Amino acid sequence: MLKIKLKLQEKFSKFKLNKNSEKVSMQVSTSSILWIIISSLLKIFILVFFGLLVLFPFYYMISTSLMTNEEVIDTAKTHLLPQEAQWKNYSNAFAEGYWIAIFVSFLIATITIFLKTIVTILLGYAFSIRKHKGKKILWAFFLSLMMLPEIALLSGQYQMIVKLEWHYGNSVLLGLFVPFIASVFSAIMFKNSFEAIPDQMKESSMIDGASGIIYFLKVAIPMVKTTILTVIVLTAFASWNSYMWPALLLQGKKIQTIPTWVFTTGKNADDELIIPIRMAGTVIAILPMFFVYFGFRRKIMQAISRQGIATKG
């Protein structure tokens, strides 16, 4: 009888333990599923909320570009959709010198990219060399230039351009890009990339008979191609979107870049602003960089994510 009683107690205790373990596992699984659902909904809400914050200005810009001026300035009601799409706003914007402005912006951006890449890559390589007298003092001086406010640099650059007489006539194009062909920030990126190249790589190339110039052209530059692409992308966007300097230099002139053209388009004969035409001009102004970004998005993101890493070319 005692054995039977012990066996029954053992089976009952096992049954109770199994039941308790099942309850605990159910509670854990239920709480984990509930937490997954709550966290997923919270993430979706945050993404949708901030996505709408980012996309709404673009939507309103496009919507406004298709309205009449009366709909835009109507204070009694806010219109989020045009009553009838006014596609003529885009044709009017195109007719106000868009193609000339886009040609000037493209020309300035191309020249700036070419010269800035050459100047900053040489500057970065020079400061990446280990043994260089006065390198630390000179590099500290260049870094201190980054602390200067932009308005101070603009005023000094403008005085220099005026003294060189590059602020009028055909020479104004020189004044638009010459002050920006050197950049301490881009030089820092190249310096870091060149310093990331292993010393054994240079020693091996020297053993193979490569001189300093051959090493720089055929070994060092191919290994920092991601940084080169990064500098090209950042320079292109900065040059294309630059407004303050072109507005200062091109004030009262017929020639315009894309940003300055946007702020002068959309005015009638009485110099009154037609907001839908201005918005249409803004839309077509961002289209070139929009297509460039989405056309080369993968390479741009790879270049920026791998910036500063020396890779075998």
| Domain spans of the chain, in order of start | 21-54, 88-305
111-125, 177-191, 195-209: range with highest mean pLDDT: 111-125
Roughly how many angstroms between the first and final C-alpha of the chain, as a whole number?
85
- The confidence score (pLDDT) of residue 25 equals 52
Q: Rounded mean pLDDT of 10-32?
A: 58
- The confidence score (pLDDT) of residue 7 equals 64
Give the CA count within 13 Å in the CB-facing half-sphere of 121.
Answer: 21
In terms of Cα–Cα distance, which of 216, 227, 231, 224 is closest to 113?
231
How far apart CA 195 and CA 310 sit, in angstroms, is 9
Single pTM value for the model: 0.74
CB atoms within 10 A of CB 14: 10
Positive or negative, the CA dihedral 165, 171, 176, 177 is negative
pLDDT band at 230 (very low <50, low <70, confident <90, very high): confident
Q: Which CATH superfamily is domain 88-305 in?
A: MetI-like (1.10.3720.10)
Q: Which residue is associated with the tokens 């990331």? A: 196
- The confidence score (pLDDT) of residue 21 equals 59
Q: Rounded mean pLDDT of 1-18?
A: 62
CB atoms within 10 A of CB 259: 19
Are the beta carbons of 281 and 261 closer than 8 angstroms?
Answer: yes
Helix orientation angle between 184-195 and 225-241, rounded to the nearest 10 degrees? 170
Proportion of the chain above pLDDT 90, given as a percent? 8
- The confidence score (pLDDT) of residue 28 equals 46
pLDDT surpassing 70 at residue 312: no
pLDDT surpassing 50 at residue 191: yes
How far apart CA 33 and CA 27 sit, in angstroms, is 10
Helix orientation angle between 184-195 and 135-145, rounded to the nearest 10 degrees? 140
Phi/psi-derived region of residue 252, left when phi > 0, alpha when psi is between -120 and 50, beta in every other case: left
Positive or negative, the CA dihedral 101, 107, 111, 113 is positive
Are the beta carbons of 258 and 240 closer than 8 angstroms?
Answer: yes
Q: Rounded mean pLDDT of 135-158?
A: 80
